[in-house]
Amino acid sequence: MENWELIIIGAGAAGLAAGIYGARSGLKTLIIEEKMAGGTTSDAPVVENYPGFPQISGGELAQKITLHCKKAGVTIRELETVTDLDLTGERKIVKTTRTAYEAKAIIIATGSHYREIGVKGEKEFRGRGVSYCGVCDGPLFKGKRVLVIGGGNSAATTTLYLSGIAAEVTVVHRRDAFRAEEALVKDIASKKNVQVFLNTEVREIKGEKLVTNVVLFDKKAGETKELAVDAVFVQVGEAPNSQIARDAGIEVDDEGYIKSNIFQRTNIPGVYAAGDVTNHPVKQVGTAVGEGITAALEAYGYIRQPYYYRK
């Protein structure tokens, strides 16, 4: 079994930031990532709120953080999924699709995944017009009619991104107002090719080989109507990737987010959580980075026990 001092699960903003601080503290640090390093940051069309970068594509920002992490001396194993954790002993065991590892401390930075709306047609047309990522699939619908579902920041940024690609963008939100930042809502209102339907639910996604129509229900009017669209972008929030942690005895809140304190400690000594998988109320690149840094420095204290470490 390979031996490491610190193993970080997930190479998103939180995991990569933790990696930089872990390696720079002198810890033998490994990051295990089931996809390619970069995480959800890569899905953000444009990032305009990460300090130091007034405007940068999510892909470029993710690349820069990954490169920085590699330069710090972290080993990143990509395309390897962590399947099981044994956190009962002093040495923590991490099993993956490739092998098993041992570490003195673990940071769980597995992020979250897109929520589904659970209507007829959503599963059938996934990848055939139904998408959860505007920046990944938006360019496929250049000059077409697209629908965005949701009212938060993800729905708003996806709408703005798609308005520069698609001919028409319709946004459907089941409540009577957006939850997104005011600046984004104003930007949406200024776009000539964007129409907004509030108090409206999507009841079905229809098509043949590809998506052709959606069935909408106007909750105020009590009316059902059909709208012709070529793609549906579901942007109704995320759920945490916390299953392996839960199975290993890590405490989570009602929604499944890992409970961590201001030191990013979980209920198991030597196990930390950082980023979107935690119950921290803000889910941003900046907060993920901050939590990753705190987790790595705490893991350092736990492993090396310097005189100033608060037990």
Ligand X SMILES: Cc1cc2nc3c(=O)[nH]c(=O)nc-3n(C[C@H](O)[C@H](O)[C@H](O)COP(=O)(O)OP(=O)(O)OC[C@H]3O[C@@H](n4cnc5c(N)ncnc54)[C@H](O)[C@@H]3O)c2cc1C
Which residues contact ligand X (rule: CB under 6 A)? 9-15, 32-35, 39-41, 43-44, 47, 49-50, 81-82, 109-111, 154, 157-158, 241, 244, 275-276, 283-286, 288
Catalytic choice (84, 136, 247, 253):
136
Per the CB < 8 A criterion, the answer to whether 25 and 297 are in contact is yes
Cβ 95 to ligand X, closest distance in Å? 10
Cβ 92 to ligand X, closest distance in Å? 15
Catalytic choice (43, 133, 230, 276):
133
- Residues 6 or more apart in contact with residue 293 via CB below 8 angstroms: 17, 18, 20, 21
Query: Which DSSP state fits 120?
Result: B
Catalytic choice (69, 84, 86, 137):
137
Q: Which two tokens stand for residue 155?
A: 């729905």
Active-site annotation holds for 133? yes
Nearer residue to ligand X within complex by CB, 19 or 270? 19
Active-site annotation holds for 69? no
Secondary element (H or E) of residue 15: helix 13-24
Nearer residue to ligand X within complex by CB, 96 or 212? 96
Nearer residue to ligand X within complex by CB, 13 or 216? 13
Cβ 53 to ligand X, closest distance in Å? 10
Cβ 206 to ligand X, closest distance in Å? 25
Q: What angle do CA 91, 256, 270 make, to 5 degrees?
A: 20
Can you spell out the DSSP letters for 210-229? SEEEEEEEETTTTEEEEEE-
Active-site annotation holds for 43? no
Nearer residue to ligand X within complex by CB, 34 or 230? 34
Report the alpha-carbon distance of residue 251 to residue 201 in Å, rounded: 34
Per the CB < 8 A criterion, the answer to whether 11 and 38 are in contact is yes
Question: Beta partners for 206?
Answer: 213
Q: Which two tokens stand for residue 216?
A: 């909408």
Residues labelled as active-site residues: 133, 136-137
